[in-house]
Chain A
């Protein structure tokens, strides 16, 4: 019993990247099961033109939740499950940069998904507005179900999880690579994750902003998406600014996996790797300037449509380059037809079909004809269920031996492949021929010519589903009865194959080093100390190693008996706080639309208690995770990981505010009349708060300075002053709000008021975080003053205050002057 208890506790409190990776993968598979079952249900409905198996609302709920779960709670999370497990291994790190934050990301992801699932059981049922949640259908005027509220809350919660994840991966990949692992030696999967998080960092804040505005509409009665000034177009811009990069967010990790797998099973490095990286970079940038092609029929001008038509056509080029590189890697390679390789090879033609059919949609006229039909469904699913999912299966099979120490049954995997290839093509190819069938209908008794194609599609769906039953059997069989795999069963190249299967908690028995000539070594840290890491990288020092792999991958071996204990200490930091924090948010969010204030308070209490525990642990230094002693960290050489993480986070926050300010500009531009702020608001109050915020930044600067020069008294006084100013700002804001409310200028009174309360409210929430951080710093300073060694904490709080000030420099004139 106690072993069961400790087993459960381990999974609830783990912060190890491999455990979290497994949690992500298992959870994502559960969500896949849910979304897949929903897909089968609506395919059954569509098999007969007059079926009532899944009528009206139920059909809409199934389609909507299927789409949302597959994209946001299955595909991306399972890729990031693999990334959690393998990115640190591929770059020779012992964990992600911020393990507790990683755990929090996972728990927020899990509970956000459960929030969506719970929505099936609340009054009105689950969300049913289509996965794009188009306005004004997404407002409570047209979709009053509480389940819809829960879905939007789930999306906002997931956005928070993803933002934290992006910070973690950015810092890990940028700053924790093994010595000698320069950027050109970073494996493609890790590269693909880097590009993916760059897209996530800027795309998800737009979704979060859209979600926040929608929540205000649904829960507090604003009309951002109901009004003429905002409405459907505002939603479209915010949603598709997220939505189109999201396609590449889902695709990139899969392409990275394909590159690594094809390289391993052809015995050749990826053809033209540098060009592929340039292509990835181009696609990352272009992904942000193609979103209007989803809005060609919304009334944008012809010029704008032409521009976005060109950018959309352009973005196909990087992917053509990547596909060619994969094919040319196969050319003349000594291909080994293992199950991962077969899935990877199957993904390429599916990608070509899906990609080529997408190019048509770049043409304005064709897009007008195709949109809303099953052509688009087929195109999209060839990319997502074809390329991305096949690559994920290939990745799972490729790394399964490393994760479990056991081999999968090749026979079962190949049976799955055959079923999957037949299933997916039978499922989606007929949908290209259903080019005249609208995609959002559940009956079609007026068009008998669609029956056969729909029935073929439904049969394909069941064959495709059967392939995953075989996959599940293969995974369980491999786990329980698979033969031992050894450390490198594929003879593959890469750091992850130089450690045990499954890897130990500290990942490597020594320090991984990549030499200039491309060899990977596992060197005892003591040897590195004695010989100097630079000499080991250049090959000048002859060192005894515990593992070595040559560039052609043929001479890999490992001698665990030589393993030393030096530097292997991996902090086993279990913490319940991340799970409890996410659970608290889950409870509060479930209660919010239901109006259960007691439950909401309980959830909030749990969340705040968890934050307090987190801060207390931080204060006691329980989770100090020192940066690796030997590492490759260009271009952030000598820069603290917290600083890199903070700036990454701030970039995301900037985009959140940018999206909200964008919404302001959008609404104001479309408003026929607008009362200038200078006539509406009290400039004196605005100016007072402006000076208060500037002074708070000054106080934090002085606190930092006095910590550096060792003046404890002035350090404490400055911190107390910064805290007092933060509180003064909050009180002034509260006074101003209550004064306005008393005058009848409430949240829902006018569009100006809606924007004013929303933006200043979002800003005030950030000031509150600054106040809490300052309070922490003051308490810490009173007990243990900051000195030159740890003054950086005050610098970071100052940087945060800075961003609060910067946002205010735009909000102030927006509402008080113009």
Chain B
């Protein structure tokens, strides 16, 4: 059972240019917000921007949006595991760091 070919028509170069413009724009916006002190929690803000930018890169430049679930599962599964692990490690660190008080 052959899988349908990549939906090439859905990927004219314009999609790449739009994605590129979005990435550059968000990078500029990120700098502006941080430099101007407009973020409530800077770490959460830059992490969120990073996740959005990564998603755009993955979907457009790595063509993940055309891939079946099984391929999408690799980055998504890894990301979930990574978040769990980093959260667990950070939580355990926060709970014992001598500098918290």
Contact status A705-B16, CB under 8 Å: yes
Closest beta carbon of chain A to B53's beta carbon, Å: 4
Among B19, B27, B90, contact of A669 (Cβ-Cβ < 8 Å): B90
Contact status A636-B24, CB under 8 Å: no
Closest beta carbon of chain A to B36's beta carbon, Å: 11
The number of chain A residues touching the other chain, given as a range, is 35 or more
Contact status B96-A636, CB under 8 Å: no
Could you tell me which residues of chain B, from 62 to 89, have a CB within 8 Å of some CB in chain A?
Answer: 62-63, 67-71, 74-75, 77-79, 81-82, 84-86, 88-89
Contact status A809-B57, CB under 8 Å: yes
Question: Does chain B have a CB within 8 A of A801?
Answer: yes
Contact status B78-A666, CB under 8 Å: no
CA distance A301 to B2 in the complex (A): 53
Among A636, A639, A798, A817, contact of B30 (Cβ-Cβ < 8 Å): A817
- Of chain B, the residue at the smallest CB distance from A667 is B93
Closest beta carbon of chain B to A634's beta carbon, Å: 8
Among A666, A702, A708, A798, contact of B90 (Cβ-Cβ < 8 Å): A666
What does the 1/0 interface line of A785-816 toward B look like (CB < 8 Å)? 00000000001001101110110011011100
Q: Contacting chain B: which of A92-100, A151-159, A589-597, A651-659? A: A651-659
Contact status B57-A202, CB under 8 Å: no
Contact status B85-A665, CB under 8 Å: no
Known: A662-B86, A813-B34, A817-B30. A799 touches B20 (CB 8 A): no
Question: Does chain B have a CB within 8 A of A670?
Answer: yes
CA distance A637 to B30 in the complex (A): 40
Known: A705-B11, A817-B30. A666 touches B93 (CB 8 A): yes
Contact status A698-B16, CB under 8 Å: yes
Contact status A818-B92, CB under 8 Å: no
Question: Does chain B have a CB within 8 A of A648?
Answer: yes
Could you tell me which residues of chain A, from 623 to 677, have a CB within 8 Å of some CB in chain B?
Answer: 635-639, 643-644, 647-648, 650-651, 654-655, 658, 661-662, 665-666, 669-672
Contact status A694-B23, CB under 8 Å: yes
Contact status B16-A702, CB under 8 Å: yes
Give every chain B residue within 8 A of A662 (Cβ-Cβ): 85-86, 89-90
Give every chain A residue within 8 A of B70 (Cβ-Cβ): 635-636, 639
Contact status A690-B27, CB under 8 Å: yes
Question: Does chain B have a CB within 8 A of A697?
Answer: yes
CA distance A669 to B86 in the complex (A): 12
Number of B interface residues in the complex (CB < 8 A): 60
Contact status B74-A651, CB under 8 Å: yes
Contact status A299-B96, CB under 8 Å: yes
CA distance A812 to B46 in the complex (A): 9
- Of chain A, the residue at the smallest CB distance from B52 is A809
Question: SS class of chain A's interface: helix, strand, loop or mixed?
Answer: helix
Contact status A694-B20, CB under 8 Å: yes
Give every chain B residue within 8 A of A289 (Cβ-Cβ): 84, 88
Question: Does chain B have a CB within 8 A of A220?
Answer: no
CA distance A303 to B94 in the complex (A): 12
Give every chain A residue within 8 A of B85 (Cβ-Cβ): 241, 288, 658, 662
Among B63, B75, B90, contact of A651 (Cβ-Cβ < 8 Å): B75
Question: Does chain A have a CB within 8 A of B38?
Answer: no
Give every chain B residue within 8 A of A202 (Cβ-Cβ): 78, 81
- Of chain A, the residue at the smallest CB distance from B33 is A817
Give every chain B residue within 8 A of A691 (Cβ-Cβ): 24, 27
Question: Does chain B have a CB within 8 A of A701?
Answer: yes
Among B13, B28, B68, B98, contact of A635 (Cβ-Cβ < 8 Å): B68
Give every chain A residue within 8 A of B23 (Cβ-Cβ): 694
CA distance A810 to B93 in the complex (A): 21
Could you tell me which residues of chain A, from 282 to 331, have a CB within 8 Å of some CB in chain B?
Answer: 288-289, 292, 295, 298-301, 303-304
Among B3, B53, B95, contact of A638 (Cβ-Cβ < 8 Å): B3
Contact status A288-B81, CB under 8 Å: yes
Known: A300-B96, A638-B1, A665-B90. A647 touches B58 (CB 8 A): no
Among B61, B82, B91, contact of A655 (Cβ-Cβ < 8 Å): B82
CA distance A303 to B68 in the complex (A): 40
Question: Does chain A have a CB within 8 A of B40?
Answer: no
Give every chain B residue within 8 A of A300 (Cβ-Cβ): 92, 95-96
CA distance A690 to B50 in the complex (A): 12
Question: Does chain B have a CB within 8 A of A150?
Answer: no
- Of chain B, the residue at the smallest CB distance from A201 is B78
- Of chain A, the residue at the smallest CB distance from B23 is A694
Contact status A241-B89, CB under 8 Å: yes
- Of chain A, the residue at the smallest CB distance from B82 is A658
Known: A643-B71, A799-B62. A637 touches B1 (CB 8 A): yes
Question: Does chain B have a CB within 8 A of A89?
Answer: no
Among A654, A803, A813, contact of B49 (Cβ-Cβ < 8 Å): A813
Question: Does chain B have a CB within 8 A of A678?
Answer: yes
Among B2, B49, B63, contact of A795 (Cβ-Cβ < 8 Å): B63
Question: Does chain B have a CB within 8 A of A233?
Answer: yes
Contact status A701-B86, CB under 8 Å: no
Could you tell me which residues of chain B, from 18 to 45, have a CB within 8 Å of some CB in chain A?
Answer: 19-20, 23-24, 27-28, 30-31, 34-35, 42-43
Give every chain B residue within 8 A of A697 (Cβ-Cβ): 20, 57, 61
Give every chain A residue within 8 A of B57 (Cβ-Cβ): 697, 802, 805-806, 809
Give every chain A residue within 8 A of B30 (Cβ-Cβ): 813, 817
CA distance A591 to B101 in the complex (A): 47
Among B34, B69, B71, B92, contact of A817 (Cβ-Cβ < 8 Å): B34
Contact status A802-B27, CB under 8 Å: no
Question: Does chain B have a CB within 8 A of A695?
Answer: yes
The listed residue with most A CB atoms (<10 A of its CB), out of B57, B79, B98, is: B57
Give every chain B residue within 8 A of A678 (Cβ-Cβ): 34-35
Contact status B95-A304, CB under 8 Å: yes
Closest beta carbon of chain B to A314's beta carbon, Å: 15
Give every chain A residue within 8 A of B91 (Cβ-Cβ): 304
Contact status B89-A298, CB under 8 Å: no
Closest beta carbon of chain A to B20's beta carbon, Å: 4
16 residue pairs of the A-B complex, CB under 8 angstroms, read A292-B92, A304-B92, A637-B1, A638-B2, A651-B77, A651-B78, A665-B86, A690-B24, A691-B27, A695-B20, A700-B61, A701-B61, A802-B58, A809-B49, A817-B31, A817-B35
| Known pairs A233-B93, A817-B31 / 16 extra A-B pairs, C-beta < 8 Å | A202-B81, A651-B78, A654-B79, A655-B81, A661-B86, A669-B94, A672-B99, A683-B35, A687-B27, A694-B23, A705-B16, A799-B62, A805-B61, A806-B57, A809-B49, A818-B42
3 closest A-B pairs (Cβ-Cβ)? A638-B3, A301-B95, A813-B46
Chain B contacts to A: CB under 8 angstroms: 1-3, 8, 11-13, 16-17, 19-20, 23-24, 27-28, 30-31, 34-35, 42-43, 46-47, 49-50, 53-54, 57-58, 60-63, 67-71, 74-75, 77-79, 81-82, 84-86, 88-99
